[in-house]
Chains A and B, each alone.
Chain A
């Protein structure tokens, strides 16, 4: 019972990591293209990252 839950949580965390990684990478690209929009891009990036991060924590909660 324990192990499938843990594996599932691990998979979710992998997904979350990929998601946040993509957000960070895309934000870098966007800033490189438009350095003057740095502030706006960073804000949008943080919000999106925070929303995805919540799912990761929810998965970790399922385990603990």
Chain B
């Protein structure tokens, strides 16, 4: 293969990527155009709220948009996804059987219905019994379905794998010089190494954390950007996803923790004090330090989740203004604000990925610290 053809191939890939990203910003607005036109304002406000809440949740089918036609029937555009349940044996069927949660699905003599985005086992009529706190009391089978969020994660994982695999290959072929998309990604990778990993973790230990930091950065970034496309995906605004990411940071921090890391938690004063003087202090200090182990990843998961969730709510609410104002003044205002917020969201998408990586690196730095105790005491 000649050098020039490879260049055009890679350029095409980059071009497609850029076109997808940019078109996402433009079409994200157009998606809502097809929404409802009901007379009463209150019903409309509730509908906009429901629409936003629906968008924030994961769903069992990949619907791009939906509307109600003149006869009052719901029309959906999208495709169903497989539902995998473990309920006395594996049950695999298409989510089209639920008709977007409107009907009961019958599989091998069992009936299932969707309530509040969860699948429950029901009778033939699909009755779901609620207790006083409005929790469903029906049996919920173990749900391993490939939902919209799972599909997006799989897509991102494959995209990242093939993108970075091909980049690695192009480096090998091209004599260790970046080409094509590598010219875009190389500075980012180097930034993570030189400005995030090395200053926070240190020259000595940073290498073993690099793969995690790079993976988590690009994973979060790609998913954040994907959330701004018209596909209506909200993966990083799902607390389960951010929980798992933070759990990985938590496990890596504590499993690779050095002796000094644990000494810092359980004996922070070291040899600077007599043991009997340390006891009253440690009654307060050690619980705080132990709590800190859990609070650090917890703040990571809440930050990412809340930021993405808040961004989506603000964006959709601003678009919803269009349907509340219903005047020639409202639409440009709503569009202008939504456009400005979209641009901020692109920045936030990168910033949140950066902060997640940055703070993970900081925690890894704590975990791999090695004090030279003698110097510290002499310095005092």
Interface residues of A (CB under 8 A from B): 39, 43, 46-47, 50-51, 53-54, 57-58, 60-61
6 A-B Cβ contacts within 8 A? A39-B195, A46-B351, A46-B355, A46-B358, A47-B355, A61-B302
Q: When the two chains form their complex, are residues B302 and A57 in contact, meaning their CB atoms are under 8 A apart?
A: yes
Given contacts A39-B195, A43-B195, A51-B299, contact A57 B359 (CB under 8 A): no
Closest to B196 in A: A43
Q: Are A57 and B362 in contact (CB under 8 A)?
A: no
Q: Contacts A39-B195, A43-B195, A60-B306; is A54 near B299 (CB within 8 Å)? A: yes
A39 cross-chain contacts in B, Cβ below 8 A: 195
Q: How far is the CA of A53 from the CA of B310 in the complex (A)?
A: 13
The yes or no answer to B55 lying at the interface (CB within 8 A) is no
**A43-B358, A47-B358, A47-B362 as given contacts; A57 in contact with B195, CB under 8 Å:** no
Interface residues in B290-306 (C-beta closer than 8 Å to A):
299, 302-303, 306
A39-B195, A43-B195 known; A50+B306 contact, CB < 8 A? no
Contact A50 B359 (CB under 8 A): yes
B302 to chain A: which residues have CB within 8 Å?
Answer: 54, 57-58, 61
Chain B residue at minimum C-beta to C-beta distance from A53: B303
| B interface, CB within 8 angstroms of A | 195, 199, 299, 302-303, 306-307, 310, 351, 354-355, 358-359, 362
Choose from A46, A51, A61 the contact partner of B306 (Cβ within 8 Å): A61
Give 7 new A-B contacts, CB below 8 A, not counting A43-B199, A46-B358, A50-B355: A43-B195, A43-B358, A46-B351, A47-B358, A50-B303, A50-B359, A57-B303
The CA of A46 and the CA of B351, in the complex, are separated in Å by 9
Say what secondary structure dominates the interface of chain A.
Answer: helix
> Which A residues lie within 8 Å of B303 (CB)?
50, 53-54, 57
Residues of A within 8 A of B307 (CB): 53, 57
User: Which 3 residue pairs of A and B lie closest in terms of their CB atoms, listed nearest first?
Assistant: A57-B306, A54-B299, A50-B355
Nearest CB of chain A from residue B187's CB, rounded to whole Å: 14
Q: What is the distance, in angstroms, from A56's C-beta to the closest C-beta of chain B?
A: 9
CA distance A39 to B359 in the complex (A): 16
Tell me which residues across on chain B come within 8 A of A43, comparing CB atoms: 195, 199, 358
| Docked complex Cα distance between A54 and B242 (Å) | 14
In the bound complex, what is the Cα–Cα distance between A58 and B295 (angstroms)? 12
A-side contacts of B299, CB under 8 Å: 51, 54
Contacting residues, chain B, for A46 (C-beta < 8 A) = 351, 354-355, 358
Closest to B352 in A: A50
**CB-CB nearest in chain B for A55:** B299
Q: Which residue of B lies closest to A60 (CB)?
A: B306
Q: Which chain B positions have C-beta within 8 A of A57?
A: 302-303, 306-307, 310
| Minimum distance in angstroms from A12 CB to a CB of chain B | 13
Q: Are A47 and B359 in contact (CB under 8 A)?
A: yes
Q: How far apart are the CA atoms of A39 and B358 in the complex, in Å?
A: 14
Tell me the minimal C-beta distance from A23 to chain B in angstroms. Answer: 14
From A50, which residue of chain B is reached at the shortest CB distance? Answer: B355
- B57 CB to closest chain A CB, in angstroms? 14
> A46 to B307, alpha carbons, bound, how many Å?
15
Chain A residues whose CB sits within 8 angstroms of the CB of B358 once the complex forms? 43, 46-47, 50
> In the docked arrangement, what's the CA distance between A57 and B354, Å?
18
Neighbouring A residues of B351 by C-beta, 8 Å: 46
Contacts of B306 in A (CB 8 A): 57, 60-61
A5 to B307, CA, bound (A): 21
Instruction: Report the separation of the CA atoms of residues A60 and B307 in the bound assembly, to the nearest whole angstrom.
Output: 11
